[in-house]
Amino acid sequence: MIYHSVTSKIYNNIARLSNNTTILVLIAGITGNLGTRLAKVATSRGLQVRGLGRDRTKLDEKKTGIIESFITSQTYYDIPALETAVEGVDAVICAYSPTAILDLEGHLLLFRAAERAGVTIFLASSWGHPLDKISFGEYKHYNTHIAFKQQVAMTSSIKPVFMNVGIFADLLYGPFGPGGWDTTGANPTIEYWGQGNKRKIHWSELNDVAEWTIDVLQSKDIQAGKGGTYQMQSGASTLEEFAATWTKVTGEEVNLVNRGSLEDLESLVYTARKEKGTGRYIEYLVNATSLLHTRGAFIITEFDLMESSKTRTTLEEYVTALLTNRNTIKEYIKKLESVH
């Protein structure tokens, strides 16, 4: 009987979408940095938006556009709030903060609520590097994403949407960025091993990401419930290019420091994993990321060209904007450090 009920809801949603009615999309984490931008793009394109979050007062409709409603959840496991949030929506976008608990447990609870409501379009919280060249346990930060993807593939008929966009631009010039951007000295410092200074690193600016995400949501394949993985980028730059662009815009020189060979980095990461374990992975995350970048594990070779991805933010444009909003970015980096 439960199966029949869910199946009926799925068919009803598919019929609704095929009738070209206005799409109602739930954005979970709407008050976050990405969630706010997703809402702005969605409302500007005529979509109805419902928000899910913990604090309604953090929602600024001058930034998001007027939304259909806001559902307050006390915790990520607030099942009644999740059930209310997904009721009657056509699509769900999970834009939770990137914490281990939300990436897996919160993610799955939201997905199951959407599944029970008959929602056929679920955009997973991905927006990072591709997972196909790494195995579970190799990069602790992505264990939760791999686990979510595998669990859903094994247990659900819904085909989620995943997006590979590289690293968010807001992290490039921060402590969790490529090379562990360090500003404690007279000049910023970036570390690398082997030929890591020459390896291209994919990155994407948040406004670009929001545009692409809604492009994907509105595409025919996704509206038909086909799901899949989409790959985009604002740009791909080396550590040398990150440094050179910073110097060009700010006039401030950046120190690029070679810390040794690729083998030295492998040994460093291996030792850190052994001594600090999974629970303290954040302490060696930058080096683990550098290792995979240097090995080429995060390289994206094929990209999906959506209408809005034809015009993308350049690195110089991003750094210029970063300096204009430096206090905002510092607050964002501080928030990221606190959640980890």
First to last CA, the chain: 42
Tokens, residue 229: 């993985």
SS3 154: helix
Q: Is residue 51 a contact partner of residue 31, using CB atoms and an 8 Å limit? A: yes
The strands making up 161-164's β-sheet, listed across from edge to edge, are: 69-72, 48-53, 24-28, 91-94, 121-123, 161-164, 228-231
Q: Is 227 left (phi over 0), alpha (psi -120 to 50) or beta?
A: left
Half-sphere exposure in the Cβ direction for 91 (13 Å, CA): 33
The strands making up 235-237's β-sheet, listed across from edge to edge, are: 167-168, 201-204, 235-237
Taking the alpha carbons of 136, 137, 138, 139 in that order, is the dihedral positive or negative? positive
pLDDT of 337 reads: 58
- Which ranges in the chain belong to alpha helices (H)? 2-18, 33-44, 61-64, 79-86, 100-101, 107-116, 143-155, 206-218, 220-223, 239-250, 262-276, 285-295, 315-324, 326-339
Give residue-wise pLDDT tens across range 180-195: 999 888 899 999 999 9
- In the predicted model, is pLDDT for residue 21 greater than 60? yes
Structure confidence at residue 197 as a pLDDT band (50, 70, 90): very high
Give residue-wise pLDDT tens across range 22-40: 899 999 999 999 999 999 9
- In the predicted model, is pLDDT for residue 11 greater than 80? no
217 class by beta-carbon count within 10 Å (0-12 exposed, 13-18 middle, 19+ buried): buried
pLDDT of 308 reads: 65
Cα 98 to Cα 103, 196, 328, distances in angstroms: 6, 26, 19
> What is the average pLDDT across 291-314?
86
Fold held by 2-164+204-231? Rossmann fold (3.40.50)
162 class by beta-carbon count within 10 Å (0-12 exposed, 13-18 middle, 19+ buried): buried
Cα 308 to Cα 35, 45, 232, distances in angstroms: 18, 12, 11
Report the predicted TM-score, pTM, of the whole model to 2 decimal places: 0.88
Structure confidence at residue 5 as a pLDDT band (50, 70, 90): very low
SS3 167: strand
Q: Strand 69-72 relative to strand 91-94: parallel, antiparallel, unpaired?
A: unpaired
> What is the average pLDDT across 42-49?
97
pLDDT of 304 reads: 87
Give residue-wise pLDDT tens across range 248-282: 998 999 999 999 999 999 999 999 999 999 999 99
Largest CA distance in the chain: 67
